[in-house]
Amino acid sequence: MDLTVSGPRRLAGEIVAPGDKSVSHRAVMLNSIAEGQATITNFSPGDDCTSTMVIMRALGVNIERASADDGSGDTLVVKGAGTNGLREAEDVLDAGNSGTTMRLMSGILAGREFKATMTGDSSLQSRPMGRIIKPLSMMGAVIRGRENNTLAPLEFDGGDLSGIEYDLPVASAQLKSAILLAGLRAEGKTSISQPAASRDHTERMLSAMGADIRVDGLDVTVGQSEINCVDVDVPGDISSAAFWIVAGLIHPNSEVVIKNVGINPTRAGVITALQDMGGNIELVNERDVAGEPVADIVATSSNLRGTELAGSIMPLLMDEVPVIAVAAAMAEEETVIRDAAELRVKETDRISATVDWLVAAGVEAEARDDGMAIVGSGRIAGGTFQSQDDHRIAMALGIAAMVSDDPITVVDAGCASISYPEFWDELESLGGIVD
């Protein structure tokens, strides 16, 4: 599906961001291996989280799903199977396009008494899995993958798990979570040291469910634990909200309100970065929902300036770089993004994909090994650009179209449904023109 998008004279309205993907994944996974029953509300509608739910069902977990009448996310009722209650699936498990599903499920499947095979689409099969297999194998899990145990499909063939002490080579919430989930069933303690902070949704949720888990700065330790189901009201996804925040900042006549957004400090780096660029961003109605900080976000027209993003902030905004790049193109002076080599192994090479379309749109930009440099001029030309079947590239192009000199045609725009099925409808609700 190709779409041609152009911007309105005024961009204004109120958006309710879809349920946070990271929290949704963990809510269904952890409740599936817990004791009892839980209700998950505002579950992310995207394909990625559906892949997780389908896999848990295939492993014998009873999950009921219903759409909400008020247009919010779906409601799931999960009857937990307990720590050791999963059963062998009848077929290969399909993670679709979801790296979170494959990596976190690896921790759940590691060392089980049954065999399992997990695969994904062509994009997921090209993404690195060796960093997951290595520590899980050190714990005693028997796991095999393609290309010398570095790529999916992955085969799990039992093993006796024991706790380890492990220094993460990168600040990765997916890697950390996979080890923690295996640690729930391992003999002894499993200790992880991080080089920098990463998303802490797993630690928060495990703590709420009664796990033997301790967090001390960048170190996390978990012991063998039985956990109990907990209800989860999933906050709005800040990675999805980031597109509307940038739209509100770069459009010259705008006021965009995004409701019920999770502002967990290990996720909210995009707000810090955009405020440092001079963005008019206000957090209102701040509150705490099930252990996660939540707020409404108001973004209005701003005169942005270039900045440098590097170091410890990068794990806190990695997914938002494609749309931050749009803000950088509309800012004054240069923006430099470093320490973002992880973008090379996402759904596509997001460094190359982002710089390629920026340059084609008349923006001075340069790809670097671990990031990019963008010289803002306040102008983006229109044209036809490839999403490269990457949902975040497609949506970033849609936001760029709100201020481009001419309309932008997004090739394969439908891939936005991977994380945000209603994205193009929401863009129209704010005044954008989508054909």
pLDDT in tens, 150-204: 999 999 999 999 999 999 999 999 999 999 999 999 999 999 999 999 999 999 9
- Give the model's confidence band at 7: pLDDT under 50 very low, under 70 low, under 90 confident, else very high: very high
Tens-digit pLDDT profile for residues 102-125: 999 999 999 999 999 999 999 999
Name the band, by pLDDT with cuts 50, 70 and 90, for residue 406. very high
Q: What is the average per-residue pLDDT within 122-136?
A: 95
Q: What is the mean pLDDT of residues 135-162?
A: 97
Does 92 score more than 70 pLDDT? yes
Q: Which strands sit side by side in the sheet containing 37-43, from one edge to the other?
A: 62-66, 74-79, 37-43, 232-233
Strands across the sheet containing 280-289: 11-16, 254-262, 292-300, 280-289
What is the model's pLDDT at position 345? Answer: 86
Contacts of 30 (CB under 8 A, 6+ apart): 202, 205, 206, 209, 227
Exactly one of 94, 296, 319, 390 is catalytic; name it. Answer: 319
What is the 8-class DSSP label of residue 36? S
Residue 70 in this model has a pLDDT that exceeds 60: no
pLDDT of residue 71: 52
Rg, the chain, Cα only: 21
Question: Is residue 319 annotated as a catalytic residue, yes or no?
Answer: yes
What is the per-residue pLDDT for 72?
64
3-state helix vs strand vs coil in the chain, percent to 5: 35, 30, 35
pLDDT, residue 292, reads 82
Query: Is the pLDDT at 241 greater than 90, yes or no?
Result: yes
